[in-house]
Amino acid sequence: MPANKKYLTKSNWTRASKIIAVTLIAPVASINFHLALAFFIGFAYVVPTSLFSIFILWGFFMVLVYWIKKVWVSWLILLVIILFSVLYIYYAKS
């Protein structure tokens, strides 16, 4: 049974933007979040489990990007997560 046409994206740019967000930005956001968490809690506690939890968080971000209808909102959420984690890492190092 084919998919209902009203639920499919009309624009190729929207589809390409979601694919780029999922393949490039979501892994960066999950790695940056774990690195900031390691600075907050401690590397000895975060690093052993980060390999598994990075993939879990990446999967959550994939679902989030495709669940949100507007592409710019999903990009904004991912970029805000990256920005806050990078700022926390910067201030934690100094």
pLDDT digits (tens, 9 = 90+) for 48-69: 999 899 999 999 999 999 999 8
CA–CA gap between residue 40 and residue 8 (Å, rounded): 41
Distance, C-alpha 69 to centroid of its chain:
16
The domain limits of the chain are: 29-93
| Calpha distance 80→83 (Å, rounded) | 5
pLDDT digits over 2-51, tens only?
A: 778 777 777 889 999 999 999 999 999 999 999 999 999 999 999 899 98
Contact 21, 65 (CB under 8 A): yes
Tokens of 1: 């049974």
- Say if CB 93 and CB 43 are below 8 A apart: no
